[in-house]
Amino acid sequence: MIAAPRVRRWPAAQGLAMAACLLLLLVLAGCSTWRRPAEGGDEPLRARAVSMTKDGVTLSATVPSKLESHRLLGANIGAVGVQPVWIEVHNGTAQSLALLRTGTDPDYFSPLEVAWSLHGWFTGGTNAKIDDWFNHVGFRNPIPPGESRSGIVFTNPARGTKLLNVDLLGNQHLVVFTLFLRVPDDSGDPDFSRSLFTYPDPVAVDYQDLASLRAALERLPCCATDASSQHSGDPLNGVAIGGLEDFGAAMVRRNYRRNQEPFDDAQYVFGRVPDAVLRKQGQAGMVSPNWIRAWLAPFRYEGQAVYVLQIGRPTGGRLLAAPAQSVLHEDVDEARNMVVQDSIYSEGLEKLGFVAGGGPVSRQQERSSLNGAKYFTDGLRAVMFFVTRPLSISDLEILDWVPLGKPAATDAVGKDRHAAEDTAQTR
């Protein structure tokens, strides 16, 4: 008979003692990682900040690097999913102003919330010092007339370039800023360092009336393609018109953030992958419910940029297990309409209209896209005109184009084009 191997067992008391010692070591190690930073650590940030002046108010802001974050806060808080933004406001007006943090990030973090993530066990004195420091460096309201305030606003991470909204509220007065800030630690990453696409000025046609614009929008292709242009991709069911800062600011207010996944680059329009991709942030632990892929079009409207949009959401919505498994949900109109409503509530939408897009597709004859996705649609393309906030919902102008809910007409040319696309999908 082969004897079973002997297993060495520690006495219970000795095991508990060892566990307690290990826990104490971990606690002591945690306590030793935080030291109160020196005062005046924001001078390098001020030197490279992006600045803008409007209505007597000057705003300066920058995203600290990991090393700068450690120097300012005593820790790299990016490790817990928080991105600090250094902000300085000089108030040259005659009234006090207050920075509205939810305008900067609807899910912003409070200073004490971030400080708590650095707390250790049985270290009440150190924890209190951490709390005091984070309260000290956090941006504080109000900003009195003629004075300046600087501090940190704790936001959710953005990659590559951070679109920063800052809303400063006074008495019956709102000063709105939108800045584009470089994220230092992403500057060498090819996935995030690429600049936004632009056309040379002579290439872009500038339409000066709505009728010409509508005709140009209806001539756009129905869908994206793959890299070979042989297979049809997701439908192009939206258009955004206006400055990138206005469109981006409106979307940030509705909790969209720039987030380009590898599978987004399978979709090609104008011979290139999306210029930018926005995703609405899901609830904790849930997948993003909607995406907006955007391509700059080779024409303008009254000098404003025109972005062709591909609006969709994954099958399974927020309950999808992982974003890498994303396949286009078949009801693309629902996703489009959700983005339209987000745009309305963003307070940045001036006009809204619908034009014919890729033609109606019934649920009984769903059209194929990439990755085995199928979809149905009323064939309409939402056209959204953005301006600098704020606007009331009652200010929204509805253009008398194609009524929502009425299937878009498909002419003979459109039918031939779609037939050719369907044939290409089967090759």
Task: Tell me the average pLDDT across 17-24.
Answer: 49
Confidence of residue 413 (pLDDT cuts 50, 70, 90): very low
Residue 293 identity (one-letter amino acid): R
Confidence of residue 223 (pLDDT cuts 50, 70, 90): very high
Q: Which CATH architecture has domain 38-186?
A: Sandwich (2.60)
Average pLDDT taken over every residue of the chain: 85
Confidence of residue 327 (pLDDT cuts 50, 70, 90): confident
Distance in angstroms (rounded) separating the CA atoms of residues 174 and 162: 22
What is the model's pLDDT at position 301?
Answer: 96
Domain boundaries, the chain: 38-186, 199-425
What is the model's pLDDT at position 194?
Answer: 63
Distance in angstroms (rounded) separating the CA atoms of residues 241 and 213: 11
Task: Tell me the average pLDDT across 253-271.
Answer: 90
Percent of the chain past pLDDT 90, that is, above it, reads 63
What is the model's pLDDT at position 325?
Answer: 57
pTM: 0.79
Q: Is residue 369 over pLDDT 80?
A: yes
Residues sharing a CB contact under 8 Å with residue 399, sequence separation 6 or more, in sequence order: 210, 351, 352, 353, 383
Q: Looking at 32-36, 66-70, 123-127, 303-307, which range is the least confident one? A: 32-36
Q: Is residue 18 over pLDDT 80?
A: no
Burial class of residue 43 (count of CB atoms within 10 Å of its CB; 0-12, 13-18, 19+)? exposed
Q: Higher-confidence residue: 408 or 157? A: 157
For the beta carbon of residue 35, count every other beta carbon within 10 angstroms. 11
Each residue's pLDDT tens digit, 172-210 = 999 999 999 999 988 666 666 566 788 877 777 999 999
Residue identified by tokens 């878009």 is 408
Residue 202 identity (one-letter amino acid): P
Q: Higher-confidence residue: 284 or 80? A: 80
Each residue's pLDDT tens digit, 150-167 = 999 999 998 888 999 999
